[in-house]
Amino acid sequence: MKTNLLNFDLPGLTRYFDEIKEKPFRAKQVMRWMHLAGVNNFTDMTDLAKSLRAKLEAKAEIKVPELIVEQKSLDGTRKWLLNVGTGNGIETVFIPEDSRGTLCISSQIGCALECMFCSTGRQGFNRNLSTAEIIGQLWWANKALGVTPKEERVISNVVMMGMGEPLANFDNVVTALNIMLDDHGYGLSRRRVTVSTSGMIAQMDRLKEEMPVALAISLHASNDQVRDRIIPLNRKYPLKQLMAACERYLVKAPRDFITFEYIMLKDVNDKPEHAHELIELVKNVPCKFNLIPFNPFPHAGFVRSEQGRIKIFREILLEAGFVVTVRKTRGDDIDAACGQLAGKVQDKTKRQQKWQLVQGVS
């Protein structure tokens, strides 16, 4: 079986070239070809000796996920369903804005955390994505948008907020992040690469030491009673422990605040008393809030909070001195909005069948 070079960051690629008895500087050359130039074959790597190109052709490959379908939203959002084998597909979303272009990347096929308000979580879980499958989404998006990273940058920001819990696939995600940040890769700033987690505390501490990028927490509740219900992981890592981990992370974070994502669910977490609980909860954590109107999906069991209630919730937080944004829903006409990504998951957990049986859904 050939070795997929997209699985390697620069240190890994350097070790690979040492193993095949080639000079270490070749790793930088090949990495620039793959990521800066967007090349996925060895023939076009014209500054490599023909003998090296032939050796790589025999031993290695540059394999990216294949496109299944592309969708374009009326608001300019683009979503790609990419084939990752054995009947599985992952979704990647590009969101263009006036001042930046953000790519939302998946880290797993499905998700094992079962957050109740998330369509991905309802699909079950198959496996972690490889580094090649993670970074291949960025590689593919650059191609689809008609640019290579060495040209004018269209993708200025990357958020690990697609399918899956990034920190549950720690090693492969960190290697992919290393490629994103490397000047021989995509040259992105730590401040412009964000990992979103539901609160895997041990892995947050590891990320702080190994790859401190911007951090977003899928908070979505102001107390343990509500969070236990909608985010089962909270039963293992309750809010007091999560806040302490956020304080530790900020010691090395590239930004001086944590972003707390908070999905607005009618009559679940959107009352004024919840806003006041939040203020008390995060009092020791420099942060900003991103309020997210719930994006419905079939048989979700939740309803989006009314605009008036979201406004009141926001004003309470603003009056307490917090920076608060309300996320503009983008791409919901192609199911590309937050919480709507589902992909194609060959569910090993049988969660879909169990849930449908309990709910009486046909």
| Rounded-to-integer distance, Cα 136 and Cα 34, Å | 10
Known catalytic residue: 319?
Answer: no
Known catalytic residue: 91?
Answer: yes
Q: Which residue type sits at 89?
A: G
| Rounded-to-integer distance, Cα 313 and Cα 329, Å | 18
| Rounded-to-integer distance, Cα 269 and Cα 263, Å | 8
| Rounded-to-integer distance, Cα 19 and Cα 247, Å | 42
Q: Which residue type sits at 133?
A: E
Catalytic residue among 22, 91, 133, 165: 91
What percentage of the chain's residues is helix, strand, coil (to nearest 5)? 40, 20, 40
Neighbours of 29 (CB within 10 A): 17
Residue with tokens 């040259």: 187
Terminal-to-terminal C-alpha distance of the chain: 42
What would the two tokens of residue 66 be? Answer: 């294949």
Q: Which residues pair with 91 in a beta bridge?
A: 81
Neighbours of 323 (CB within 10 A): 13
Is-contact 97 358, C-beta < 8 A? no
Catalytic residue among 111, 118, 246, 338: 338
**Using alpha carbons only, what angle is made at residue 317 by residues 315 and 322, rounded to the nearest 5 degrees?**
120
Is-contact 111 76, C-beta < 8 A? no
**Active-site residue set:** 91, 338
